[in-house]
Amino acid sequence: MTTYEEQTRAGLRFPTGFTWGAATSAYQIEGAVAEDGRGTSIWDTFTKTPGRVVGGENADVAIDHYHRYREDVAIMAELGLSAYRFSVSWPRVQPDGSGAINAKGLDFYKRLTDELRGHGIDPWLTLYHWDLPQALEDAGGWPNRDTAYRFADYAAAVHEALKDHVHTFSTVNEPWCAAFLGYASGEHAPGRREPGNAIRGAHHLLLAHGLAVQAMNAARVGGCVNLYPVAPATNSEADVDAARRIDGLQNRFFLDALLTGAYPEDVIADLPVDFGFVQPGDMKTIGSPIDVLLVNYYSRYLVSGAPGGRASASAAPTETASPWVGSEHVSFLPGGHPVTAMGWEVDASGLTEILARVAREYPPIPMVVSENGAAYEDVLVDGRVHDTERRDFVEAHLRACRDAIDAGVPLEGYFAWSLMDNFEWAWGYDKRFGLVRVDYETQERVLKDSARWYAEIIRQNRRHEPTDS
C-alpha cells in the first residue's frame, strides 16, 4: 500500500469534502421482480425475449439486493464510502407508470436510505435507470410525449416520499443510451429499431428531465450524461465530419439541451426527422437550472467517415442496428490503447479532457463523475480477486479527476461503477464491473483487491475531514 505522501505525489489527494462514492442501478442488482407489488418493466419483457440477452439471462434474482441491502450497506461502510448512488425502480413504486403509488415499493427505498444514513453514507437517488414500466411502453414508450408527463408525476411522488431521506436527486441516467440503444440499435429494451422514434425518444427523455426538475421544486437535483471525447482518425474532411457528428449526437445534443436550453443546429441538420415534435416552451423546460451535472465516463472514440472500422464502439453480440441515427456510415477505429473485457479502450486522459471541456464551453456547473469503472476477467483464487487491472484503471481515472480539479474544473466527487458485480444488460452476467465480487450461485460478496485499495485511498483522504462531516 502506498503511503499518504506517495499518494499526494501520485495525485490521489483530494480536497476536503470530496464525495467518495460507488454506484449501482435497480434492475441490475435488486432482483425480487415479483415481490411487494412491483409491476413489469421493459427489461423484464426484453430479457424474456429470445436472442436479446447473451445466454438468455435475466435479472429476476440478480444479486438479491432487495433482500440483502443491509449486508450491502455494511460493505459500503467498510469501504468508507461517503455516498452511494442507486436508482429507484419506477415499476416498483408505480407499477403501471401512472396512477396508484405502491407504498410497499417506496418503503424499500425508505429502509435503504435509512440504513445508508445510519452509516453516515449520503444517498444519491437516480429516478430512472432504464426500467420503464411496460404499461408505458405499451402506450408508445419514450417516443410518446405523454411518457414525459408520467415521469414528472412519478418524480414528484418519489421526491415527496423521500425528500427527508435524500439530499441529491438525479433524473435520467444516460439519456443517450435510453434513446439510441433502446429505440435505434435495439441493443437495449424495448429493443425497437426505429431511428426516427429514437430521436423523438431522446427529446422526451430530456423533456421528462426538465419536467421532473420543476416537479421536484426545491430538491438538489442533477442531470446525468455519458460523455466521450471524439477525435477524427485523420484530418480528412470525411473524418473530421464524422467526429463532429458523433460528438454532436453523443455529447453536444444532451449538454447543449440541459445546460443551454437549445439543440445544436448542426446536429439537428444531421438527423433525418422533422423536429416538429419540439413544442413551444420545451427547450426552456429542458434547460431548467440544475445544481450538479453527473458525468459518466468510460472511454473515448476515434472515428472515420470512410468505411472499414466497426459500426459501433461497444455493441453486444446480439443482433442490433446502428445507434448512430443519421450517421450510420461512421466507423469506429482502434486507438491503440489497452481494452477492457467490454472491448472499450482505456484512456484516463479522456476523462480530464471531457470534464475540462464542459467547464470551458458551458455555463458554470458543479460536476461529479457519477460512473467510471471497468469489466475484466476476474479470477477467484483462495477467496481473493487480484484485479490489478481494475485497480490501475480506477487509480488512473482518479488521477485524471485530480488533474481536472487542478485545471480549475469544479469536480466534487467520484462514483466507481460498480459497487458490486451485477447484470450487465444485453451482456447478462458475463461482464463483471464490481469492486466487490458476487458469486451468482451463493450470493456471497467478496471484496476484490480494487475495493481494498479504493477503501485505503478513501480512508487516507477522509481522515483529514472535520469529524462532523
The residues carrying an active-site annotation are: 174, 371
- How far apart are CB 417 and ligand IFM at their closest, in Å? 6
C-alpha cell of residue 85: 448512488
Q: Does 372 bind ligand IFM (CB under 6 A)?
A: no
Minimum CB distance to ligand IFM smaller for 326 or for 428: 428
| Residue with smaller CB distance to ligand IFM, 131 or 282 | 131
Residue linked to cell 458476487:
438
Distance CA 152, CA 160 (A): 12
Displacement of CA 29 from its chain's centroid (Å): 14
Site string for ligand IFM, 150-179 (x = CB under 6 A): ------------------------x-----
Closer Cβ to ligand IFM, 176 or 263, answer by number: 176
Q: Is 296 in the site for ligand IFM (CB under 6 A)?
A: yes
CB of 104 to ligand IFM, least distance (A): 25
What DSSP letter does each residue of 168-234 carry, written as one string? Answer: EEEEES-HHIIIIIIIII-SSTT----HHHHHHHHHHHHHHHHHHHHHTTTSEEEEEEE---EEESS
CA–CA dist 384, 128 (Å, integer): 34
Q: Are 12 and 399 in contact (CB under 8 A)?
A: yes
| Residue 304, H or E segment | strand 301-304
Q: Please, which residue, 187 or 282, has the CB nearer to ligand IFM? A: 187
Q: How many angstroms separate the CA atoms of 414 and 458, rounded? A: 11
174 or 282: CB nearest ligand IFM = 174
State the DSSP H helix or E strand holding residue 352, giving kind and residue range, or none if neither: helix 349-361
Find out whether 79 and 458 touch, Cβ atoms under 8 Å: yes
The gap from C-alpha 413 to its chain's centroid, in whole angstroms, comes to: 15
Q: Which is nearer to ligand IFM, 28 or 102 (CB)?
A: 28
- The answer to the question of residue 57 lying near ligand IFM (CB under 6 A) is no
**Cβ atoms of 116 and 65 closer than 8 Å:** no
Shortest distance (Å) from residue 430 CB to ligand IFM: 12
Measuring CA to CA, which residue among 75, 163, 176 is closest to residue 130? 176
Rounded Cα distance between 415 and 84, Å, is 8
Strands 445-447 and 436-438: antiparallel
Instruction: By CB under 6 A, tell whether 371 contacts ligand IFM.
Output: yes
Q: Which residues of 83-117 are buried (b: 16+ CB within 10 A; e: fewer)?
A: bbbbbbbbbbbbbbbbeeebeebbebbeebbebbb
In whole angstroms, how close is the CB of 313 to ligand IFM at the nearest point? 12
Q: Which of 424, 429, 448, 460 binds ligand IFM (CB under 6 A)?
A: 424
Question: CB of residue 217 vs ligand IFM: minimum separation in angstroms?
Answer: 28
Residue count at the site for ligand IFM (CB under 6 A)? 8
19 within 8 A of 411, measured Cβ to Cβ:
no
- Taking the complex as a whole, the smallest distance from the CB of residue 186 to ligand IFM amounts, in Å, to 17
Is residue 430 at the binding interface for ligand IFM, with CB under 6 A as the rule? no
Contact 271, 326 (CB under 8 A): yes
C-alpha cell at 222: 442533477
Task: Kindly state whether residue 25 participates in binding ligand IFM, applying the rule CB under 6 A.
Answer: yes
Among 154, 183, 393, 417, binds ligand IFM (CB under 6 A): 417
- As measured in angstroms, the least distance from the Cβ of 377 to ligand IFM is 16
Q: Smaller CB distance to ligand IFM: residue 96 or 378?
A: 378
State the minimum distance, in angstroms, from the CB of residue 258 to ligand IFM.
Answer: 17
CB closer to ligand IFM, 25 vs 134: 25
Residues in contact with 302: Cβ distance below 8 Å, sequence separation at least 6, in sequence order: 230, 231, 232, 233, 332, 333, 334, 335
Site for ligand IFM in 98-157 (CB under 6 A): none
Chain residues binding ligand IFM by CB under 6 A are 25, 28, 174, 296, 371, 417, 424, 433
